[in-house]
């Protein structure tokens, strides 16, 4: 076996590690280092942690302690197959101690290091909570309805969508996704929103569920670091008509299904699909809602015609048979009277109907 002389201590050795013998190499080798005192900055309101120049959602204080140690623990670059065991212990609500055991293979040798540290919890408000408490907002979402007042159901749906969208944006890292203030009036709903991006997503999600349109209007708010700061007003317009409304258009009675720039619905005369353009919608007239429907006895059913007992006059009348309709039981169907004409509602058959 070939031997050589260690240039540092002069002893014969068969292995040189970084140019010296094994004893000299490990004499001053430091496997791991950790500051004796660490600080963890936590928001007392939301539990967020400040790390690497930004606030991140954590919520669990023990997880924060562990991550603070992991972030500050430095292990020698020559170490392989590293094993780390962290044992934290709470002394007070604002102070922890921890023992950190590190094991690793270095140049074929297994070595261990035991470290101790103290973690001090510093409570300070994060930028999000500071801005919420200060009434900060980047956008105003004004929810209105075209030529009508939004319904209570629409208010509830819009608030649900707003909360859901805010939570989703927060989960993706937008810490300015919050609602500072909610104001409800007879005309509609105003939401003061922390980030422009979340306001835009709320509008798009409302349109997907309720229909409608929205526009954006920027206004100069001030300057910061030489940059102009703008606030955005989102003008959200819910549709003039809502699903379930009955409208008169092109001399037809249409049950509305969905409305954005175009309106889709069902022709009450025969149950066929109906589409109207934006220009045609402006000429439409609201004549009822499916909530006004009542039950009527079905006397007989032919291929293209139904005979029913008019629930208003108690006389038998013949009406055109829709493409599909629903029997509610005991041979009853739902009908609605529009301008002295009786229409059976063209609803889809239920699975239990024969």
What residues does each domain of the chain span? 24-123, 135-238, 245-344
The DSSP bridge partners found for residue 47 are: none
Q: List the structure tokens of 79.
A: 């170490």
Model pLDDT for residues 45-81, shown as the tens digit of each residue: 887 888 877 888 776 788 889 989 998 999 988 888 8
What are the C-alpha distances in Å from 318 to residues 7, 208, 341?
112, 39, 11
Whether residue 252 contacts residue 236, with contact meaning beta carbons closer than 8 Å, is answered with no
Let me know how long the chain is.
Answer: 354
Between helices 196-210 and 152-171, what is the axis angle to 10°? 130
β pairing state of 37-42 and 109-123: parallel
Which pLDDT does position 220 carry in this prediction? 80
Q: Please tell me the predicted confidence (pLDDT) of residue 354.
A: 39
Confirm if 85 and 75 have CB atoms less than 8 A apart.
no
| Three-state secondary structure call for residue 311 | coil
Intra-chain end-to-end CA distance of the chain, in Å: 95
| Inter-CA distances, 250 with 34, 257, 275, 285, Å | 79, 17, 11, 10
Distances (CA, A) of 38 to 92, 97, 99, 177, 221: 15, 10, 13, 30, 40
Using CA of residue 164, residue 165, residue 171, residue 174, what is the dihedral sign? negative
Instruction: Pull the structure tokens for residue 18.
Output: 């970084």
Six-digit token pair at 248?
């008169």
pTM reported for the whole predicted model? 0.63
**Residues of the chain under the 50 pLDDT cut:** 348-354
């Amino acid at each position: 076996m070939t031997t050589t002389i260690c240039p540092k201590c002069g002893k014969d050795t068969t292995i040189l590690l970084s140019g010296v013998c094994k004893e000299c190499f490990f004499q001053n080798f430091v496997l791991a280092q950790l500051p004796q005192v660490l600080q963890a900055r936590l928001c007392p309101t939301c539990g967020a942690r400040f790390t690497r120049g930004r606030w991140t959602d954590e919520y669990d204080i023990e997880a924060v302690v562990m991550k603070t140690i992991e972030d500050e623990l430095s292990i020698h670059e020559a170490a392989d197959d590293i094993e780390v065991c962290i044992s934290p212990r709470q002394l007070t609500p604002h102070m922890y101690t921890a023992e950190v055991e590190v094991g690793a293979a270095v140049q074929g040798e297994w070595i261990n290091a035991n470290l101790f540290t103290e973690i001090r919890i510093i409570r300070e408000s994060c930028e999000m909570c500071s801005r919420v408490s200060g009434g900060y907002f980047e956008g105003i979402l004004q929810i209105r309805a075209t030529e009508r007042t939004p319904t209570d159901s629409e208010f509830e749906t819009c608030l649900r969508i707003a909360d859901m969208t805010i939570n989703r944006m927060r989960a993706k890292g937008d810490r300015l996704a919050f609602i500072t203030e909610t104001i409800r009036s007879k005309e509609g709903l105003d939401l003061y929103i922390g980030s422009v991006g979340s306001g835009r997503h709320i509008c798009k999600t409302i349109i997907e569920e309720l229909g409608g349109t929205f526009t954006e209007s920027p206004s100069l708010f001030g300057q910061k670091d030489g940059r102009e700061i703008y606030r955005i007003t989102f003008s959200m317009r819910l549709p003039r008509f809502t699903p379930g409304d009955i409208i008169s258009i092109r001399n037809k009675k249409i049950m509305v299904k969905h409305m954005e720039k175009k309106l889709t619905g069902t022709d009450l005369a025969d149950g066929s699909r109906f589409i109207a353009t934006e220009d045609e919608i402006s000429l439409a007239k609201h004549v009822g809602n499916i909530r006004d429907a009542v039950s009527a006895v079905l006397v007989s059913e032919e291929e293209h015609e139904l005979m029913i007992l008019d629930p208003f006059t108690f006389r038998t009348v013949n009406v055109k048979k829709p493409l599909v309709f629903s029997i509610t039981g005991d041979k009853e169907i739902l009908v609605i009277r529009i301008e002295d004409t009786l229409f059976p509602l063209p609803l889809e058959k239920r699975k239990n109907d024969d």
